[in-house]
A and B are shown apart, each in its own frame.
Chain A
Amino acid sequence: NAGVTQTPKFQVLKTGQSMTLQCAQDMNHNSMYWYRQDPGMGLRLIYYSASEGTTDKGEVPNGYNVSRLNKREFSLRLESAAPSQTSVYFCASSGPGQGTDTQYFGPGTRLTVL
């Protein structure tokens, strides 16, 4: 039981490059989330998926897209990376019911955009 896994752990991009951050969970959770963590800002929600087949914008969705590939996997895509997207990205999941309280977090992806 690995919980929530994220790949890659570290990534350096040049401005304008694209990439996809991968997230998978093996807890049969319905809901999945993407956050970014910046110094002094706490965690801010980018996108979430309350159940397979649905996605919704969070607090800071601009510049990102998501795909809920199946119940296990939820990916985050940066189409044209900008220095302002330098951050640590966390994926989380919760469930099985919608609105179930505890979110379980992955180890994070540290992204630097030059």
Chain B
Amino acid sequence: GNSVTQMEGPVTLSEEAFLTINCTYTATGYPSLFWYVQYPGEGLQLLLKATKADDKGSNKGFEATYRKETTSFHLEKGSVQVSDSAVYFCALRDSGYSTLTFGKGTMLLVSP
């Protein structure tokens, strides 16, 4: 079956530090990959996505590249801000399916 594995948190950084949150996946087909973000007390919202190998998704300074050879989709940002503090979820949608499989989420805490 499908699965998504994320690094456990919390990840604690100082403002302007470099961020990496690791995500690897297992899928039976050719999945689309996503990063969702959840700010405190809110629902999830799409941060970025990639639909095929070697695609790079980007949004709000965050980036992730779909690496089929390593089955990975790591999230990166060059300089984090306090406002980036949230829980980040990696997810996949396998080809031919409408449902998403989520990782367990990684909490990011950014201090001034």
Measured CB to CB, the residues of A under 8 A from B are: 4, 31, 33, 40-45, 48, 50, 58, 90, 92, 94, 98-108
Residues of B within 8 A of A101 (CB): 32, 34, 49, 51, 93
Docked CA distance A90–B96 (Å): 23
**Count of chain B residues with a beta carbon within 8 Å of a chain A beta carbon:** 21
Contact code string B97-108 (vs A, CB < 8 Å = 1, else 0):
111101111000
Query: In the complex where A101-B51, A101-B93 touch, is A42 in contact with B104 (Cβ < 8 A)?
Result: yes
Docked CA distance A102–B96 (Å): 15
B43 on the interface (CB 8 Å rule)?
yes
Contact code string B32-43 (vs A, CB < 8 Å = 1, else 0):
101010000011
Docked CA distance A33–B96 (Å): 17
